Structure 1
Amino acid sequence: MGIVVYRDATIFDGTGAAPVGGRSLVVDDDRLTQVVATDQLVVPDGAEVVELVERFVIPGLIDSHQHLATPPDRVQAEAWLRRMVYGGVTAIRDMADDLRQIADLTRACLVGEIPGPDIHYAALVAGPSFFDDPRTWQVSQGETPGTVPWMQAITDETDLVIATALARGTHASALKIYADLSPELVAAVTAEAHRQGVPAWAHLSVFPALPIDVVRAGVDVVSHVTMLAWQTQTQTQAEAAPTYKSKTPIDPATIDPDDPRIGEVLEAMLERGTILDATGSMWESGEVLDGADAAGVARAQGNAELSAALTARAFAAGVPISAGSDYVTAADDPFPALHRELYFLHERCGMPAADVLRSATQIGARAAGAEDDLGTLEPGKLASFVVLDRDPVADLRNLASVWCTVKRGVRHQRGDFVGPENLEQR
């Protein structure tokens, strides 16, 4: 690829600093080598120069919650990945799927065989009772769910050293702790994952382990902000602890975001640096609302309102929030779901645009365990960034003004994007 100079843009670098004008970026192959004031720039001999006067550059966006292969559909997944990278998304966390396909998609995106973001994926562990869930069969076709390295059933008798090593053998970036595990087992799985150098990602409530148990176990990232509500539900001695399937749905209208039990969880997250992958906008997605009856729509709207209130509460408490969507937009939508999640965080949760952008860049990179390479515009990091025609800090909706995405030094011009008519889902 050689050396490319992106000259004279306004830079939002993702570090927390205010945007600065008159800056240039020097890319050598797949790395940023300089972020420098344009009046101090010395253009290397033979470098390509891309003029960015009056344009804006932000770090590549990171979607902290995606599923690309439940069930596997290679054509569909490639279409989603293409839309993501042309929409400014340069990395995602895939939160457990059929890792046989995900591993190959990861390789294909990494080497440039197909256009798409970098993929950081998780291998899943859960209690044995979870593995009659039909999704586990979809991602284990030809094998038995719970007995494969990417989808393991865990009990008190499990050799966690071997289980973690098997998950690592899938080249997974993390272990995802999903359902039907006790607080003690969540803590044991997390400790072994960390001992082997693997991050632990989890649902905020794992059933019977509640949010405070999951956070105190030391997991790195927790998903789904509405699950904070489970901390307010108490069990009598006569009641069995809930499982993923047996839990009684919570009426979102009954939850007070200022409940001190929720506050205790947020304080524990802040103390430990636990990242919240909120996934707030998913409740208003087509995946939830399409085909829903009136009661289902009302419940989804209630959960969206609860998501907004709880996310605002977490942000006010100082909890680091990453931006994860957990759905894909309709085939005729030219932009990926992450854009909607970012608008939700800003417009519904009250987060300032600059903080929302950090959620999708610097904090997203931390959530993916990739902060050494991604999330900020600094020399030595991967050359993964987005060039916009309009200022996203002044108006977050300007994210739709993508001019190009640079991913690992490769430029994807928005004008070359194959439109929605070719994004049809099979």
Structure 2
Amino acid sequence: MEFLGAPTPFAAPAAGTVTVYSGATLLDGHGGPAVPGTSIVVDGERIRLVCPDADLPSDLPDLDVVERVDLTGRFVIPGLIDTHQHLATPPDRPVAEAVLRRQVFGGVTAIRDMADDLRQIGDLARATRVGEIPGPDIHYAALMAGPGFFDDPRTWEVSKGAVPGAVPWMQAITEDTDLPLAVAMARGTGATAVKIYADLPAETVAAITAEAHRQGLRVWAHAAVFPASPADVVAAGADVVSHVTLLAHQASAALGPATYKHKPPIDFPAFAAGDHPVIEALLADMRERGVVLDATAVLWTWLADRVPEERAEDRAHALDMAALAATLTRQAHRAGVEISAGTDYETSAGEDHPALIEEIEFLVAECGLSVAQALRSATLVGARGIGAEAEMGTVEAGKLANLVILAADPEADVAALRGVLCTVKRGLRFPAPTTNKD
């Protein structure tokens, strides 16, 4: 008897399955103005043609149109990309699958998983890619850090059955490490990138980065690795740096060596004006090198909202960090640094929107980005950070058919992103489970 394998109800349609979406108002992800009266021709999992409705050929020669969808009065944006997620710390498959479902039905078609138990992440990436479960495409990193980091309980959770720091997806790096072998082991997990995390000196950060690039991997790093400073990480050639608040530690680099667990204090008033000269120089270097900033700007606001009132000191610190995140993200935006939209958290099961919507709203409300610019951060810039700009991030011919169909105009009100009518991921439609968004 022939074994056909696991069912794939969420697989992309086959090439030759053609759907024409017409009448849409399109924000294509490049940051320009919305274009009304647009048609999008999807063939299988890819976009075949984007053109004004008036220019759409009536017979579409060489194409067997299976379905036509009228989007008059609707708004279309590219599929959204969350550039900072953790799905398996600790591994919990039912929770991860629920998160992935909420993300894709909420408009997210790709995510960047920033180091977890890659035994589970690799299988989730396969399952969403082939369509066994609903969810975004998953691009993930294998982590490298100094030995001192691996007494962190999170490393135990993601290395169960093995020794933390001695597994291919989470390696302790010393001056004696065989870096070509270590990077090859990371690459063998199926990772897109190496994540450089903590407790590594500048020369080691540079050596890891060079070897990862030589082997075709991207480098995603914390913006400060301690003792390596933000400037050290940028100079090493990292493709993306995460957590805008860590940039503040460039101003404290002169205080001497620090570790991940013992970071130097932040002089919050020194950053309040939003024009700190040390940060300005750092941002100029990032801009010149094309380093993407994965800001995770709303993270501290989310954390502050969850600190119990009786822990007043902790809540005050979280609020200071939230204000710092907004200030530094505004400064980075003014400086011309490319900002991607990442979260580092996910909304609870009772929410009907993914966390990425809250990051986009924060970028608009608190960080000086227009809606079009924030959408570009959550689409094209995210794709660049992943290294997948040729495949996703904008709505144009040749790219994956990753679309979000909205009931209202997000440029008029960014909250329209909470009104997703349908997500199209690789040409397959994921209609919103409720019908009250019409």
TM-score between both structures, scaled by the size of structure 2: 0.92
Distance, in Å, in 2 between the alignment partners of 1:320 and 1:196 is: 25
8 Å contact from structure 1 (residues 282, 288) kept in 2: no
How far apart are residue 45 of structure 1 and its match? 3.4
Which amino acid counterpart does residue 74 of structure 1 have in structure 2?
Answer: R
1:393-404 counterparts in 2 under 5 A? 393-404=411-422
Instruction: Name the structure 1 match of 2:402.
Output: 384
Which secondary structure does the structure 1 equivalent of 2:298 belong to? Answer: helix
Distance, in Å, in 2 between the alignment partners of 1:87 and 1:230 is: 35
Which amino acid counterpart does residue 271 of structure 2 have in structure 1?
Answer: I
Distance, in Å, in 1 between the alignment partners of 2:420 and 2:320 is: 33
8 Å contact from structure 1 (residues 308, 349) kept in 2: yes
How many equivalent pairs are there? Answer: 414
Which secondary structure does the structure 2 equivalent of 1:289 belong to? Answer: coil
Instruction: Name the structure 1 match of 2:391.
Output: 373
Instruction: Name the structure 2 match of 1:279.
Output: 296
The 1:125–1:287 alpha-carbon spacing in structure 2 relative to 1, beyond 3 Å, is farther
Say whether residues 1:301 and 2:316 are aligned partners. Answer: no
How far apart are residue 206 of structure 1 and its match? 0.2
For structure 2, the residue ranges without an aligned partner over 5 or more in a row are 1-12
Which amino acid counterpart does residue 129 of structure 2 have in structure 1?
Answer: L
Which secondary structure does the structure 2 equivalent of 1:302 belong to? Answer: helix
How far apart are residue 234 of structure 1 and its match? 4.0
Which secondary structure does the structure 1 equivalent of 2:250 belong to? Answer: helix
Distance, in Å, in 2 between the alignment partners of 1:342 and 1:278 is: 11
Which amino acid counterpart does residue 295 of structure 2 have in structure 1?
Answer: A
Instruction: Name the structure 1 match of 2:120.
Output: 101
Cα offsets for 1:7-46 (capped at 9, x unmatched):
1101111123321111111111101011111112134434
Which amino acid counterpart does residue 51 of structure 1 have in structure 2?
Answer: D
Which secondary structure does the structure 2 equivalent of 1:47 belong to? Answer: strand
Instruction: Name the structure 1 match of 2:271.
Output: 255
Which secondary structure does the structure 2 equivalent of 1:175 belong to? Answer: strand
Distance, in Å, in 1 between the alignment partners of 2:121 and 2:182 is: 20
Say whether residues 1:194 and 2:213 are aligned partners. Answer: yes
How far apart are residue 127 of structure 1 and its match? 0.6
Which secondary structure does the structure 1 equivalent of 2:405 belong to? Answer: strand
TM-score between both structures, scaled by the size of structure 1: 0.94
How far apart are residue 47 of structure 1 and its match? 2.2
Say whether residues 1:158 and 2:140 are aligned partners. Answer: no
Deviates more, 1:123-132 or 1:17-26: 17-26
Distance, in Å, in 1 between the alignment partners of 2:224 and 2:105 is: 34
Distance, in Å, in 2 between the alignment partners of 1:23 and 1:203 is: 40
Deviates more, 1:353-362 or 1:286-295: 286-295
Distance, in Å, in 2 between the alignment partners of 1:73 and 1:317 is: 40
Instruction: Name the structure 2 match of 1:313.
Output: 331
Distance, in Å, in 1 between the alignment partners of 2:101 and 2:269 is: 39
Distance, in Å, in 2 between the alignment partners of 1:79 and 1:404 is: 18
The 1:81–1:207 alpha-carbon spacing in structure 2 relative to 1, beyond 3 Å, is same
Deviates more, 1:373-382 or 1:249-258: 249-258
Match of 2:374 among 356, 359, 367: 356
Residue identity over aligned pairs, in percent, reads: 57
Distance, in Å, in 1 between the alignment partners of 2:305 and 2:254 is: 29
Deviates more, 1:385-394 or 1:176-185: 385-394
Distance, in Å, in 1 between the alignment partners of 2:146 and 2:205 is: 10
Which secondary structure does the structure 2 equivalent of 1:77 belong to? Answer: helix
How far apart are residue 235 of structure 1 and its match? 4.1
How far apart are residue 203 of structure 1 and its match? 0.4
Cα offsets for 1:329-365 (capped at 9, x unmatched):
1222111110100111000111111100000000010
Which secondary structure does the structure 1 equivalent of 2:351 belong to? Answer: coil
Distance, in Å, in 2 between the alignment partners of 1:329 and 1:282 is: 11
Instruction: Name the structure 1 match of 2:138.
Output: 119
Which secondary structure does the structure 2 equivalent of 1:415 belong to? Answer: coil
1:217-236 counterparts in 2 under 5 A? 217-235=236-254
How far apart are residue 278 of structure 1 and its match? 0.4
Instruction: Name the structure 2 match of 1:420.
Output: none
8 Å contact from structure 1 (residues 88, 405) kept in 2: yes
Distance, in Å, in 1 between the alignment partners of 2:349 and 2:312 is: 24
Which secondary structure does the structure 2 equivalent of 1:299 belong to? Answer: helix
Q: What's the RMSD between the two structures over aligned residues?
A: 1.5
Which amino acid counterpart does residue 261 of structure 1 have in structure 2?
Answer: V
Which secondary structure does the structure 1 equivalent of 2:287 belong to? Answer: helix
Say whether residues 1:245 and 2:261 are aligned partners. Answer: yes
How far apart are residue 320 of structure 1 and its match? 0.2
Which secondary structure does the structure 1 equivalent of 2:279 belong to? Answer: helix
8 Å contact from structure 1 (residues 253, 302) kept in 2: no
